[in-house]
Homo-oligomer: A and B are copies of this chain.
Amino acid sequence: MPLSRKLRYGMVGGGPGAFIGAVHRKAAALDGEIELVAGAFSSDPDKSRHMGALLHLDPRRVYRSYEEMAEKEAALPPEERIDFVSIVTPNHLHYPIAKTFIEAGFHVVCDKPMTTTLEDAEDLCRLVARHNVLFALTHNYSGYPMVKQARALVQEGLLGDIRKIVVEYPQGWLATPLEQTGQKQAAWRTDPRRAGAGALGDIGSHAEHLARYITGLELDRLCADITTFVSGRQVEDDANLLVHYQNGARGILYASQVSVGEENNLRIRIYGTRASLEWHQEEPNYLYVRYPDRPEEVYKRGNEYLAPAARRASRLPAGHPEAFIEAFANIYLNFARTLKARLAGEKPDPLDLDFPTVQDGARGVHFILTALESGRRRAWVDARYTPPEA
């Protein structure tokens, strides 16, 4: 490690009752390279303070608002202030918070979907470029070692030309009007104002990113069937898409939160001219590769035969399973390594640059909005998009 200290970060969001904030904190803590030192955990200052105490933070660095946090942290001496901020609020706040911290000179880790409008997303792209900060979006599924192995196999040509991608993401937890019971997660995730979109934003964007991460293929057009099954719900809870990729590949992509009995069953199958592969998020330590003329292969995490990107994303020997938090931590770890290199004035290891970027975020937002439009029009629509680059 080029920098002989832990990185310091502050968190915005992640107060009592939040889900993803705790995941971010555990992921960041796991490897002993990143330290939580500040936070604005809730829009309610009391809740924020309470959370800070639970997290054993110095009360002086538990803030009443993200604006206060950005301002006061920026005023601290460099050897004390946070190196970056983690934004784990509902979606509609990602943009103003990210903008505030970027403009204050902080690097950013942000949850997904990045924003609720394409304008905001593109503005973040420009802000990141202008202020020359690092920005990572937590499409955490790309942090799994066997997803990285899948990408490596595609890149080395094992599959031949990609012909078809089937990526599916069914969940069942919103099969009833849970948001009407006061459940906090359901409430904001089905609120169009705070979430922007429903199943497409919450999980469909992961599916889109996963397919793109592994194959590198960009969307050409798509046809979406968008449904709200639960009465009274204001966002879609089921979305089924036919997609064409720019290389001519065909695809099916779907996201559902009313698929009763499903937990978090993100799965992807990719078929090439020479071989195919399959990966399941719920059993993430395996990658299945199939051939027309020889036995199926099961690649397993933790083995020497894996590609470098998969090996270094792994902490334990084979058979000692790793899972969700470890994958999430890989986003943090690559971001942290890159940031440490920058802070040390060094060039980052190219393998460290393996985390989702602000441009990935803009692509995700464009995908969500395009799918919703196709659903409204009940027609195929153009899905090509190029985000503002750095």
Residues of B near A53 (CB, < 8 A) are 4
Contact B261 A276 (CB under 8 A): yes
Residues of B near A29 (CB, < 8 A) are 29-32
Cα(A251)–Cα(B323), bound, Å: 31
- Beyond A283-B283, A295-B299, A324-B322, whether A1 also contacts B250 by CB under 8 A is no
Residues of B near A304 (CB, < 8 A) are 293
**A residues 1-29 in Cβ contact with B at 8 Å:** 1, 4-6, 19, 22-23, 25-26, 29
Interface stretch, picked from A70-78, A79-87, A121-129, A262-270, is A262-270
- Beyond A53-B4, A225-B250, A259-B276, whether A19 also contacts B317 by CB under 8 A is yes
Contact B242 A318 (CB under 8 A): no
Residues of B near A378 (CB, < 8 A) are 380
Checking B33, B163, B303, B319 against A264 with a beta-carbon cut-off of 8 angstroms, the contacting residue is B319
Interface of A is mostly: loop
Contact B305 A261 (CB under 8 A): no
Cα(A264)–Cα(B168), bound, Å: 20
Cα(A32)–Cα(B323), bound, Å: 19
Closest CB of chain B to A65's CB: distance in Å? Answer: 23
Residue of B nearest to A329 (CB): B26
Cα(A224)–Cα(B325), bound, Å: 39
Residues of B near A296 (CB, < 8 A) are 261, 297-298, 300
Interface stretch, picked from A90-98, A99-107, A109-117, A284-292, is A284-292
Interface centre among A223, A251, A274 (most CB of B within 10 A): A223
Contact B322 A325 (CB under 8 A): yes
- Beyond A32-B55, A56-B6, A305-B293, whether A318 also contacts B273 by CB under 8 A is no
4 smallest A-B Cβ distances: which pairs?
Answer: A261-B290, A263-B319, A264-B319, A321-B323
- Can you list 10 A-B contacts with CB-CB less than 8 angstroms, sorted by A residue number? A4-B53, A26-B30, A172-B290, A242-B242, A258-B271, A260-B290, A264-B320, A281-B319, A282-B285, A296-B300
